[in-house]
Structure 1
Amino acid sequence: MIDVVAALILRNRNGQTEMMICQRPANKARGLLWEFVGGKIEPGETPRQALARECREELGVSVCIGLPFISVVHEYPDLTIRLSLFQTILPDGEIPKKLEHNDIRWILPEEIGQYSFCPADETVLEKIQREGLPRLSDLQAALFSLQDLPYRKFQVSLMPTVNPETVIGIRTPRLRAFAKSFSQTDGAISFLKELPHTYFEENNLHAFLIEQMSDYAQTIAALDTFLPYVDNWATCDSLSPKCFRKNHVELRKEIDRWLSSPHVYVVRFAIKTLMVEFLGDDFLPNDPERLAAFQTEEYYLQMMIAWYFATALVKRPDEILPFFRSGALDPKIRKMAVRKAKDSYRISKEQKELLNQL
């Protein structure tokens, strides 16, 4: 069986979603039939890498690759292929060229019957005629225009709990800059109401929009709506609302509430907020005591507690070192905290030697 990947290239035009189809050259197998641009996955390539390469070779364009659309197996007389289609868009300024095809057209689903397609595409076309084309919102199209595929590969490797197919691949500084400009539009207000989101970066955009809110009550309401949908450490840890630092008295009440949440990343956010906001003048000895006593088997909560103690050791060594010396910390969390503290450049050589002795 040969693995083949193809692009369901979409565009929004006049309120409708169109798809790109390409006509095979007359001198090739299945000549003059229409198809979706794509080709065979070469050894060592991922499907997305192969699709990006095929689009460059056949159309002369760079593409933004989204969610899988369908995967089908088809038997030709001479070979069997497994065809996987991905939702794809062209960034602004990318104009497809007829480098390997006889013709290129944009069509609507209701126009499919006017064209003769390769047999392998029949199941794909039936799905499109039955369900319609997936529609990328204007916002999603804008996010895909920021896609960096090599960075996406690295990013996916860091987030084992996130479905890789939902990761666009946008560097954080670019997404933050986008969020800053997007926050000034009417679309930002409606976007914050559109939960759950489809893509990882949409969740991060949501987080960055909340960060920019200046009204404390509005921020808490937005967090209570959004946090239960957070499903990974990266989105959780990127969220640091600016208005928190001026509302510490009220914020402690929210932290108490979040710590009792059944949602892992709501609790993680609460612990992170204690670490970011309450290791300075508003530190309370009860904070590390309650975290040391916190019972959990969730890895991402254990790691957050360890991070708290490693950071607290830097900022408040006299109050925190006893937690490392005594048996107050869960052994697993203590080991994580020691490792994280020893990796920190802010821990003195003497403190690291002491941690080694412990």
Structure 2
Amino acid sequence: MNNLKDKLFELSDEKYKKFHSGLCPNIDNIIGVRLPKLREIAKEIAKGDWRDFLAISSNDYYEEVMINGLVIAYAKCDVDEKLNYIESFVPKIDNWAICDSFCNSLKFVNKNKEKVLEFIQPYLKSNKEFEIRFAVVIILNYYITEDYIDLILETLDEVKHEGYYVKMAVAWAISLCFVKFEEKTMNYLKNNKLDDFTYNKSLQKICESLRVDKDTKAIIKSMKR
């Protein structure tokens, strides 16, 4: 663990630290190591005694927490063990960057969709901002498909939390739904229970997409509350 800390400080980039710290307000333990380097380290750890590493790993710094999450994502084990490690990791998530990087690294979800969908249900009903964001980001990464789109729109409509990072995740997810399933999502936007902030952010993110044509964006803009 001491070697890992030394390595992280060797890789620290002061300009990147200032930049990334600005993107993660209230997080004051960032060393300043870029994500590709953290992924390299995590992949190397995942090839070895990763269980022993996780058992003694430190969470003193942002980068250490990120590495712990990535090791869980990259480690080879059965789905039940993977979910147990995920369950132990989720409470450590306290910012959007670790949440989103962790979620989009959990590629095992693609082969275990029903089991993971059941697993995330309690998080969708949590009162903790980043537990809900974790579940929503899992959804937007792996479940906006033909088989799940109807269920996902219903699920997103039931997410209720005043946290900024929950609302932004839901808006992001809805914009992706629109890009992939325009007609269904348009019908949803005409009849939903979203609060005004999340609804308008959803419209904004749809309009920011390069995959939505100019005429459709004009219609979307006219729907603002």
Query: TM over 0.5, yes or no?
Result: yes
Over 6 Å off, 4+ runs: none
Q: Which consecutive unaligned segments of at least 5 residues does structure 1 have?
A: 1-135
1:197 corresponds in structure 2 to: 59
Identical positions, percent: 28
Q: Distance in 2 between matches of 1:231 and 1:167?
A: 13
Q: Distance in 2 between matches of 1:294 and 1:154?
A: 31
Cα displacement (A) at 1:290 = 2.7
Cα displacement (A) at 1:327 = 4.8
Question: In the alignment, is residue 181 of structure 1 matched against residue 75 of structure 2?
Answer: no
Q: Which consecutive unaligned segments of at least 5 residues does structure 2 have?
A: none
1:283 corresponds in structure 2 to: 148
What residue identity is the alignment partner of 2:35? T
Bigger proportion of residues as strand:
1
**What is the CA deviation profile of residues 16-46 of structure 1, one whole-angstrom value per residue up to 9, with x for unaligned ones?**
xxxxxxxxxxxxxxxxxxxxxxxxxxxxxxx
**2:114 counterpart SS class:** helix
**What is the CA deviation profile of residues 280-332 of structure 1, one whole-angstrom value per residue up to 9, with x for unaligned ones?**
13314132123213221111111111111011110111111123233532111
**What is the CA deviation profile of residues 40-69 of structure 1, one whole-angstrom value per residue up to 9, with x for unaligned ones?**
xxxxxxxxxxxxxxxxxxxxxxxxxxxxxx
Q: Distance in 2 between matches of 1:283 and 1:200?
A: 34
Q: Is the 8 A contact 1:196 1:229 kept in 2?
A: no
Q: What TM-score do you get using the length of structure 1 for normalisation? A: 0.58
What residue identity is the alignment partner of 1:355? I
Q: Distance in 2 between matches of 1:312 and 1:153?
A: 34
Cα displacement (A) at 1:257 = 2.2
**What is the CA deviation profile of residues 187-227 of structure 1, one whole-angstrom value per residue up to 9, with x for unaligned ones?**
x3233224660000011111111111342112111110010
Q: Distance in 2 between matches of 1:190 and 1:209?
A: 11
Q: Distance in 2 between matches of 1:193 and 1:263?
A: 25
Alignment of 1:111-260 (within 5 A): 137-163=2-28, 166-186=29-49, 188-194=50-56, 197-214=59-76, 215-239=78-102, 240=104, 241-260=106-125
**2:55 counterpart SS class:** coil
Q: Distance in 2 between matches of 1:161 and 1:223?
A: 24
2:183 corresponds in structure 1 to: 318
Q: Distance in 1 between matches of 2:39 and 2:136?
A: 23
Q: Distance in 1 between matches of 2:134 and 2:10?
A: 30
2:157 corresponds in structure 1 to: 292
